[in-house]
A = this chain, B = another copy of it.
Amino acid sequence: MEPSAELCVVFLAVLLASVILPMYSVDETNFLTARSALIKSENCARLGSNVKLDTNEKMVSSFLLMEKQKVINAARLNRSIYMPAASFFLSKRWMQNTPVFKIISKMPKGAALHIHELALTSLDWLISNLTYRDNAYMCKAKHGYLKFAVFSTLSRNPDCAWKSVKQERTASGNAALFNERLKKNLSLLATDPLKTFETPSDAQRRLEIYQDQVENLIRRPTVLTDYLTQAIKEFQADNVLYMEVRARLTGMIDEHGEPVSPEGVLEMYENVGYEIVNKFRNFSGLRIIHTSPRYSTPAEVLREVQLAMKLRGDYSDILVGFDLDGFENPGQSLSYYLDALLFPTRSKQDLSLPYFFHASENLWFGTDADENIVDAVMLNVSRIGHAYSLPKYAKTMDIIKDKMIGIEVNPISNQVMGLVQDLRNHAIIPVLTVDTPILISSDYPAAWEALPLSHDLYVSFMALSSKNSGLRYLKEMITHSI
């Protein structure tokens, strides 16, 4: 059972009393009292320890704990694979049949705060809706996977042997089989991860290819509104109440090849958000974090920062801030763009620009890529994406704690991208014993066919937290996102 929040203070007092005695007590009763106090004070320091539950919630928590411990005990006693920590490629179907997953999927989940524009809606909808449009095209790209796009005419795109998806589907003679093939070609989940993704870099390259596959289909003004509407519906169906989407507002072109202004893109996001919020009582909105690629020049990033500042002034209710996207290896570090990133505070304008940097989504130690965590904090970041190297940076951790900077953890993404195989080794676990706002998100959920938040919340509950962490853990994790 979880200790109740009120008792935490008592446990600590007992612990303090017991350390005055020699630790190595000769009396078994004394030993057990002191041991119990130490264990309980450990529990009290963990995520969820300050949460109070009402009677109904306590019942749910007991049930969740019972089911969680059943799975843990079975794996321990039989020394068999612990499915909730195993590869998502193997565990997805399995977890969906568990009582814990079913409860989590029905729970209100607060906000999804670290998600990317190109992987918001299910691949099923993308195929059954977007690729059925008259002007949807496909071709086999140099990277060996299919690429999708919408065009008004084909003449402007000679780089790939584009064909109408509609015509190809008809020619195939079997629409269902054809659609299945398209989905398998897009989904990272459909491949065998142990064979396909030998190293983290293999998985990163595959995600980059996925982005290339769908970018010209999704980032099109004729499609975006429907895509976002569907995304919100799917997030809402997973009981997510609010979304913050990392999106590139620049560089979008319409299906005729004409540029679309960032203001135009932002207004599309805004309109969809307003419409849905008005329609559904259980959805409180969608906002945007403008992103710029890590392979840009410093001058380009400066322009994007300036644009974000301007947009933030004009659209402060929809644009929350700025980030750099793309992998930190071999992408550039935050310090490489320092001049551009310091611009907002140097400028005389009364415009602030909140930062939401990806920092240390990698395994390195002492490189620019993991030192991004230091630069993010120095640049007064509002929340940090991933922060996988954080436990290696004790002083920076202290600052993050003091400033209550939120950490956006994306467990399944980290696993699929090869950072960690068994999720019980996830680097952020020690941070869960410290009073810091950690929240769970899902990064590119559609790319590996995960639900908006349920799968990630499930694995975080089953593999990142203690066997004795119940509903209070989930509740605090969700509260941090709000």
Contacts and interface: CB of A to CB of B under 8 A. Distances in A.
Interface of A: 15, 19, 23-28, 31-32, 34-35, 38-39, 41-42, 45, 72, 76-77, 79-82, 85, 194, 198-199, 201, 204-205, 329-330, 335, 338-339, 342, 345-346, 363-367, 369, 371, 374-375, 377-380, 391-396, 399, 419-422, 424-425, 427, 429-430, 433-434, 465-469
A430 B422 CA distance: 18
Nearest to A465: B365
Contacts of A433: 392-394
A23 B392 contact: no
Number of copies: 2
Nearest to A424: B363
A420 B430 contact: no
A370 to B, nearest CB: 9
Nearest to A73: B367
B194 A26 contact: no
A391 B26 contact: no
B79 A395 contact: no
A377 B25 CA distance: 12
Contact of A395 (B15, B377, B419): B15
A425 B80 CA distance: 22
B422 A374 contact: no
Contacts of A25: 342, 345
B26 A393 contact: no
Closest 10 A/B residue pairs (Cβ): A366-B467, A366-B466, A79-B201, A24-B380, A391-B430, A363-B424, A394-B433, A26-B345, A421-B421, A366-B468
B77 A396 contact: no
A384 to B, nearest CB: 14
A401 to B, nearest CB: 12
Given A24-B345, A38-B396, 15 more contacts: A23-B399, A24-B379, A25-B342, A34-B378, A42-B393, A42-B395, A76-B329, A79-B199, A363-B422, A367-B467, A392-B433, A394-B433, A421-B421, A421-B422, A430-B430
A412 to B, nearest CB: 16
Contacts of A77: 330
26 contacts: A15-B395, A19-B399, A23-B377, A23-B399, A24-B379, A24-B380, A26-B342, A31-B338, A31-B378, A32-B338, A35-B378, A38-B374, A45-B395, A76-B330, A76-B364, A79-B199, A79-B201, A81-B201, A194-B194, A365-B465, A365-B466, A366-B467, A391-B391, A392-B430, A394-B430, A394-B433
Contacts of A85: 363
Contacts of A72: 364, 367
Given A366-B467, A394-B45, A38 B378 contact: yes
A91 to B, nearest CB: 13
Given A26-B345, A420-B425, A199 B35 contact: no
A264 B64 CA distance: 55
Interface centre among A27, A31, A380 (most CB of B within 10 A): A31
A211 to B, nearest CB: 16
Given A198-B81, A365-B466, A35 B394 contact: no
Contacts of A421: 421-422
Contacts of A422: 363, 420-421
A399 B76 CA distance: 28
Contacts of A469: 366
A388 to B, nearest CB: 9
A465 B374 CA distance: 17
A467 B395 contact: no
Given A80-B199, A394-B42, A420-B425, A35 B374 contact: yes
Interface centre among A15, A339, A425 (most CB of B within 10 A): A425
A419 B422 CA distance: 8
Contacts of A425: 363, 419-420, 425, 427
Contacts of A374: 35, 38-39, 42
Contacts of A330: 76-77, 79
A23 B380 contact: yes
Nearest to A426: B425
